[in-house]
A = this chain, B = another copy of it.
Amino acid sequence: MSAQVLKVQPLTRTAFAPFGQVIETKGVQPYRINRGTTARFDDLARLELAQDGGTPLVSIFRGQPFVPPVAIRMVERHPLGSQAFMPLSGRPYMVVVAPAQGDGRPGAPLAFLARGDQGVNYSRGTWHHPLLALEGESDFLVIDRGGSGDGSDDNLEEHSYPGEGFVVEEIWTL
C-alpha cells in the first residue's frame, strides 16, 4: 500500500484548538506595561507541566530542515506534560498532529503550515510528529516537562503507522 497523501492547511487557532494552542499575537489584545514602551500579549499557552512532580524546562531545539516529499511514518506523545515550540529563526515550519481514537491510539494525522511568528503548545498527551523545520536549519525555544519522576520513557510514547504511512508531497509558501 503506498503512502496516503496529506494536504497541508494553514495553522490557525481554531483548527489547532483540539490539539493545543497557537502562540501568536494575531487576534490578541495586548495591554501596555513599562510606561507604555511595551505591549504585553498575555498568557498565550496552557502549560501542563506539574504532573507527578514535574517542572518546566526551557531548552533550544535546533532542527534540520525537511524537504518535500516528507514521509510521516510515526507520531509520539508525552503523557505527563505539554510541549511548546516557539520559532527563533522567523522561518515557517510544519506541524503534524493526530487525534486520539477511542482506544487512545492516533488516527490519521493532520498537517499544518506554521508561519515563522507562530508557536504551538501541544496539550499533554497530544499525538504529534517530531520537529519538522523547513527551508533551513532552525532554532526553536521549547518549554516542556522535566524533573523528578521523569525517566524519559515515562513521558514518551511512540506509534508507527502501518505500511508506508502518510506523505506531504508539497508545501506552498505562506
Interface pair A131/B57, CB less than 8 Å apart: no
**A42 adjacent to B23 (CB under 8 Å):** no
Q: Using Cβ atoms and an 8 Å threshold, which residues of chain B touch A37?
A: 63-64, 66, 130-131
- Cα distance A58–B43 in the bound complex, in angstroms: 5
- Interface size, chain A (Cβ < 8 Å): 45
Residues of B within 8 A of A50 (CB): 50, 55
Chain B contacts for A160, CB-based, 8 A: none
Is A44 part of the binding interface, using a Cβ–Cβ cutoff of 8 Å? yes
- Closest CB of chain B to A78's CB: distance in Å? 12
Say whether, besides A59-B42, A60-B41, A60-B44, A117 and B139 are in contact (CB < 8 Å). yes
Evaluate contact between A40 and B59: CB separation under 8 angstroms. yes
Whether the Cβ atoms of B139 and A119 lie closer than 8 Å is no
Q: Is A39 an interface residue (CB 8 A)?
A: yes
By beta carbon, the residue of chain B nearest A57 is B43
